[in-house]
Every structure is written in structure tokens, then in C-alpha cells.
């Protein structure tokens, strides 16, 4: 069974509040990004996004954008990304999700990219700029390979669109808490409550809520509201602030546990 579906089922059955972590492949270098990812996984993440950096990440804010630039400047290749995914999926129980942008997949060849992802043990794909109806065959090939594409619902979607997205999304519906790019803190106010409620009322799949998660205080408020919380820029910030000689894996494990 696909690891993502397995972890999701177990978490839902236990009524857990599950964590989706995030690393930038090759940031600050390949080795450190692997150790950091392992730390996030051993700290309790059920899911981990491994982002293959692209130079124009148009759904991301400055924290992730700058990490992507660094990785690219240091010579990141798509093969490095697959190497990282292979290492993580074979050494952890966390479901590994490849997140990237359209041109990385398109240039590699959509079908080849999906096959390679599967072969390296990835459970799912997220490509924010390959839209549902014009995705260059991404979903078709993913389904063929016992994987799936996780789709993203953003404020402004109406009930019908939420329903459509959730039906086609793999396992869960990635839900963005507020407008804007990644990384800014989200206030959990009446407006976000209303949006989350709209998604809950219309989604046919469990909700993974993302953007701006930085503290236990926030995740406490979300317990019982959504089954999965996503922390992206939070982890990338911790990784960017690592000092020399620090044990990367244990620092990230701490950061992961600190959210709960």
C-alpha cells in the first residue's frame, strides 16, 4: 500500500493531529538536507515534502525562495533530488512527497519524472503550477504508477471547486489558510475560520492545512479542527539558522517536536 495512504489511515484512526514537514532538496547542501529531513521525520512527521528547487517558485515566499536560490547556486540537479528521496523513503516511515514546479517536471519529461519518483519511493507529488485541467498528463501518469497528485485549495475557491479538487486530490486536500505566498504567519481569526469551515463542508478528503505554522500555540488551536498541519518555511528557517558543528538531525528533531 502507498505509504502516504497508510500513514493517513493510521493517523485518522488514532485521531492524531499529523504533521507534514518540508525541506528544500540540496539546501544548504545535499548531505545536510538529508540529515535535516531525517530529523523532521524522527521528530514525528507523518509526511514530508521534499522540494526540488526552481528559480521562480511562484507560490513561495522569500524564505523558501532564498533557500531554492542557494541550492541551485550550489549546483543542485534533479538527480540529486531523486537521490535524496530514495535515501529518505528507504530509511524512514514518513511518506515522502516530491514538491516542485512545472518546468522541472516538464523538462525531465512528465512520464519519466513520475516513473523515477515512484522508483525512488515517493508517495505523491505536488506541483502548484500544473493546474488540474491542464497538467500535461501528470495525474494520469501518477495514477498509473500507484501514486497521486495532491491538489491545493486556496481562499477564493467556492464550494464546488473545493469538492472537485478534493475528489481528484490524492489522499488529502492541501488547504492554504490565507492569501499570499508561503512563510508569513497566519492569524487564526474569523476569516480563516470561515474559510476552513467552507473547505471542511465541501471536501471529500481529510484537510492538510498550511502556511505560516510556527508554534505549538498555533498547532494546539488546530487540534481537532484539521487532521494534518503543514509546516514549511518554519523548518527551512531552522535549517538556514543551523550553526557549524551542530547535530543537524537532532536539532531538526527538536524543532519538529516543538510544534506539538
What residue ranges bind another protein (CB under 8 A)? Answer: 54-56, 58-59, 61-62, 65-66, 69, 72, 76-78, 101-108, 128-132, 134, 151-157, 161, 165, 176, 179-181
Q: Which residues are catalytic?
A: 49, 60
Name the minimum Å distance from CB 104 to another protein.
5
Q: What is the phi/psi pair of residue 47, to 5°?
A: -135, 150
Name the minimum Å distance from CB 107 to another protein.
3
First-to-last C-alpha distance (Å) of the chain: 28
Q: What is the phi/psi pair of residue 42, to 5°?
A: -70, -20
My answer on whether omega of the bond before 115 falls inside 30° of 0, hence cis, is no
Please say which residue, 45 or 84, places its beta carbon nearer to another protein. Answer: 84
CA geometry: angle at 142 spanning 131 and 79, to 5°? Answer: 95
**What is the biggest distance separating any 2 CA atoms in the chain, rounded to whole angstroms?**
51
Parallel, antiparallel or unpaired: strands 47-51 and 124-126? unpaired
Name the minimum Å distance from CB 131 to another protein.
6
Name the minimum Å distance from CB 134 to another protein.
6
Please say which residue, 39 or 82, places its beta carbon nearer to another protein. Answer: 82
By C-alpha distance, which of 190, 49, 191 is closest to 117?
49
Amino acid at each position: 500500500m502507498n505509504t502516504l495512504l497508510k500513514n493517513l489511515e493510521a493517523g485518522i484512526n488514532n485521531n492524531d493531529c499529523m504533521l507534514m514537514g518540508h525541506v528544500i532538496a540540496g539546501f544548504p547542501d545535499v548531505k545536510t538536507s538529508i540529515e535535516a529531513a531525517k530529523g523532521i521525520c524522527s521528530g514525528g512527521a507523518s509526511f514530508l515534502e521534499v522540494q526540488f528547487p526552481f528559480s521562480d517558485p511562484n507560490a513561495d515566499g522569500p524564505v523558501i525562495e532564498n533557500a531554492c536560490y542557494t541550492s541551485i547556486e550550489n549546483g543542485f540537479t534533479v538527480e540529486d533530488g531523486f537521490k535524496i528521496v530514495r535515501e529518505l523513503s528507504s530509511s524512514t516511515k514518513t511518506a515522502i512527497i516530491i514538491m516542485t514546479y512545472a518546468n522541472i517536471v516538464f523538462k525531465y519529461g512528465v512520464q519519466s519524472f513520475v516513473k523515477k519518483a515512484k522508483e525512488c519511493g515517493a508517495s505523491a507529488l505536488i506541483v502548484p503550477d500544473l493546474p488540474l485541467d491542464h497538467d500535461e498528463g501528470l495525474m494520469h501518469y501518477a495514477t498509473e504508477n500507484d501514486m497521486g497528485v495532491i491538489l491545493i485549495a486556496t481562499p477564493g475557491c467556492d464550494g464546488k471547486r473545493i469538492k472537485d479538487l478534493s475528489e481528484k486530490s490524492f489522499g488529502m486536500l492541501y488547504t492554504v489558510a490565507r492569501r499570499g505566498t508561503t512563510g508569513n504567519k497566519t492569524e487564526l481569526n474569523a476569516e480563516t475560520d470561515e474559510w476552513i469551515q467552507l473547505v471542511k463542508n465541501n471536501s471529500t478528503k481529510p484537510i492538510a492545512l498550511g502556511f505560516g505554522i510556527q508554534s505549538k500555540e498555533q498547532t494546539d488551536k488546530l487540534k481537532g479542527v484539521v487532521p494534518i498541519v503543514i509546516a514549511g518555511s518554519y523548518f527551512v528557517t531552522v535549517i538556514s539558522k543551523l550553526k557549524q558543528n551542530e547535530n543537524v538531525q537532532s536539532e531538526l528533531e527538536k524543532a519538529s517536536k516543538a510544534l506539538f
